[in-house]
Chain A
Amino acid sequence: SQKIEQNSEALNIQEGKTATLTCNYTNYSPAYLQWYRQDPGRGPVFLLLIRENEKEKRKERLKVTFDTTLKQSLFHITASQPADSATYLCALLAGSQGNLIFGKGTKLSVKP
């Protein structure tokens, strides 16, 4: 069966460091992968989309990589700030209708 895993439930880092979150999947060949941010009591908010033919995508302090051979995506936040503290979700396109399958998320805490 199709499976998507985010390796860490929680990640604690110091302000200014780079946070790296991992998303692995099996039994998929997704056309694209997305990353979302979710704050407590709120719905997820889209951050980045990376397609299968793209190795890397950047947006401000965010960088996403997509390795279809390893079946893995890495999500980096450089120069992290306490305001980056949130849960980050990866999601894969699961069907032709645009429905996504989500990982369980990694809760990032950035300490000042």
Chain B
Amino acid sequence: DAGITQSPRYKITETGRQVTLMCHQTWSHSYMFWYRQDLGHGLRLIYYSAAADITDKGEVPDGYVVSRSKTENFPLTLESATRSQTSVYFCASKESGGQQFFGPGTRLTVL
């Protein structure tokens, strides 16, 4: 299917566990982004990538790791999950100078 997908859609984990959220886009967009959305904060940028093997920190990168070995994939890893990382995570992609296309989101709960 064309578009941008995220998996899993829902995840419950425990404090201290490693969790990886997957993001896949079929448009070959150069840019990809990870956001988290929390009540009272809106959407905040975690990491972004301008191309394969190029990543950079956003507003709230602490506790997260990203990689981009292929243009179409941009996984986000929580190396040791904390309760404060309970959130809804959105992946997005775009070409230069334009709108961002968002995935459906992953709802992560850290117990």
> Within the assembled complex, what's the spacing in Å between the Cα atoms of A45 and B48?
19
- Interface membership of A42, Cβ < 8 A: yes
Does residue B110 face the partner (Cβ distance < 8 Å to A)? no
**B98 and A49 form a contact (CB under 8 A):** yes
**Cα A49 to Cα B45 with chains together (Å):** 19
Chain B residues bordering chain A, tally (CB within 8 A): 27
CB 8 Å contact bits of A80-104 with B (1 = contact, 0 = none): 0000000001000010011111111
**Given A34, A43, A105, which contacts B99 in the complex, CB threshold below 8 Å?**
A34
Residues of B within 8 A of A104 (CB): 40-42
Q: Let me know if A44 is at the binding interface, CB within 8 A.
A: yes
Given the interface contacts A42-B105, A43-B102, does A89 sit within 8 Å of B42 by beta carbon?
yes
Q: How many residues of A contact B (CB 8 A)?
A: 19
Is there contact, CB below 8 Å, between B90 and A98? no
Q: Which residue of A lies closest to B40 (CB)?
A: A104
Task: Evaluate contact between A49 and B99: CB separation under 8 angstroms.
Answer: yes
B40 to chain A, nearest CB (A): 7
Binding site for A on B (CB under 8 A): 31, 33, 35, 40-45, 48, 50, 56, 58-59, 90, 92, 94, 96-105
Give A residues with C-beta under 8 Å from B: 34, 41-46, 49, 89, 94, 97-105
